[in-house]
Amino acid sequence: MTKRTNISRSPLGWTVRIVRDGVEYSRYFRFSDGGVRKSLQAATRWRDDQLQELGERRWKTGPRSKARNNSSGVTGVSRNPYGRWVATWQEDGRQRFKTFATKREAVAHRKEQLTQHAR
């Protein structure tokens, strides 16, 4: 790898961070250990060794679960405290909303607004 993916620079050295299955593997390489270029080379070697050992990132396949903060399952459609459904969208840089009695009406209205105000 020639890009500095997973490597960041701080004032005194390079930090390598790799996360796999929720576990972080990190190491710090100081500039004082041979200078900026040599410490970057050491960081790159360590990163490449770790990536070879850990393997490439595995992306989850299959159906996604509904986000915890999305009760309706549709982006921009939610339920207010009074039990009505609310559709929200952006119009001329401002957030707009409208309430409906049913979820189906709110989803249809939001979809319609997005097509009307698409850039």
Taking the chain (119 residues) in consecutive chunks of 10 residues, what is each chunk's mean pLDDT?
Answer: 81 93 92 92 94 84 73 87 93 92 95 83
Claim to verify: residue 82 and residue 48 sit in the same structural domain:
no
Claim to verify: residue 46 and residue 82 sit in the same structural domain:
no
The token pair that represents 28 in the structure block: 């710090």
Is 62 part of any domain? no
The pTM assigned to this predicted structure is: 0.51
Q: How far apart are CA 26 and CA 68, in angstroms?
A: 30
Is 59 part of any domain? no
Cβ–Cβ < 8 Å for 43, 36: no
Claim to verify: residue 48 and residue 14 sit in the same structural domain:
yes
pLDDT of residue 119: 56
Range of the domain at 49: 7-54
Claim to verify: residue 81 and residue 48 sit in the same structural domain:
no
pLDDT of residue 17: 95
Pairing relationship of beta strands 13-20 and 7-10 according to DSSP bridges: antiparallel
Structural domain count of the chain: 2
Q: How far apart are CA 92 and CA 75, in angstroms?
A: 19
